[in-house]
Amino acid sequence: MTDESMSYREKAYALLQADAEKIIQLIRVQMDHLTMPQCPVYEEVLDTQMFGLSREIDFAVRLGLVEAKDGKALLDRLERELSALHEAVAKKRVR
Amino acid sequence: MTDESMSYREKAYALLQADAEKIIQLIRVQMDHLTMPQCPVYEEVLDTQMFGLSREIDFAVRLGLVEAKDGKALLDRLERELSALHEAVAKKRVR
């Protein structure tokens, strides 16, 4: 593998991770501003963002820049973080 | 520019063009099967696909594999082709 393809790979993965992080931030901001996880608009925003990211990952995998298993792991991790966020908010509301 | 980065560029552009072509095919099939362009489900499918493609293009641009103007030209061309398809169907209905 040349340095150049290595740098495309690194850049692709860094971009995908940054986009996943942006989704977390977006959801955090929505939660802080009283938009309930049960709200259809919230769900739509989240679905749209997750779909967009999954398309980027799929594209990177088809390009040969990201391994399919790494792309899947990135999405799985994001889903776990979102679940944890949801739980944290639900607990806060119960108190 | 090395051969390797050239091949990533070519591959990225070819993938995006193939995805644009898939959208055209999808819309053509929907039109052939009586789903009206005025139908909300049709619009939603089209919006979702266009959003997905625009995210792929944006990702390729940020990676440095596709020029922003080429990405925009690809989307513009797809939109023109979809308009032409809509017009063709509308004319058929009038007859």
Cα distance between residue B36 and residue A1, in whole Å: 50
Q: Which of A15, A55, A64 sits opposite B63 (nearest CB)?
A: A15
Cα distance between residue B32 and residue B28, in whole Å: 6
Q: Tell me: the pLDDT tens digits for A21-58?
A: 999 998 888 877 765 656 777 788 889 999 999 999 99
Nearest CA in chain B to A2: B4
CATH number at A3-94 = 1.10.287.750
Residue B37 has pLDDT above 70, yes or no: no
**Encoded tokens for B74:** 């690809």
Q: Which of B8, B48, B52 sits opposite A8 (nearest CB)?
A: B8
Are the beta carbons of B60 and A55 separated by less than 8 Å?
A: no
Flag whether residue B15 sits within 8 Å of chain A, measured between CB atoms: yes
Name the pLDDT band for B49 (thresholds 50, 70, 90): very high
Are the beta carbons of A8 and B65 separated by less than 8 Å?
A: yes
**For chain B, where are the alpha helices, taking DSSP H only?**
3-32, 40-63, 68-94
Share of chain A above pLDDT 70, in %: 85
Flag whether residue B42 sits within 8 Å of chain A, measured between CB atoms: no
DSSP state, residue A39: -
Chain mean pLDDT for chain B? 87
Per-residue confidence (pLDDT) for residue A54, from 0 to 100: 97
**Encoded tokens for B71:** 């990405």
Minimal CA separation from B55 to chain A, in Å: 6
User: Looking at this predicted complex, what is its ipTM?
Assistant: 0.82
Which of B80, B3, B92 lies closest to A2, judged by CA? B3
CB A61 within 8 A of CB A12: no
Residue B44 has pLDDT above 90, yes or no: no
The DSSP H or E segment spanning A16 is helix A3-32
Instruction: Kindly list the domain boundaries of chain A, sorted by start residue.
Output: 3-94
Per-residue confidence (pLDDT) for residue A92, from 0 to 100: 73
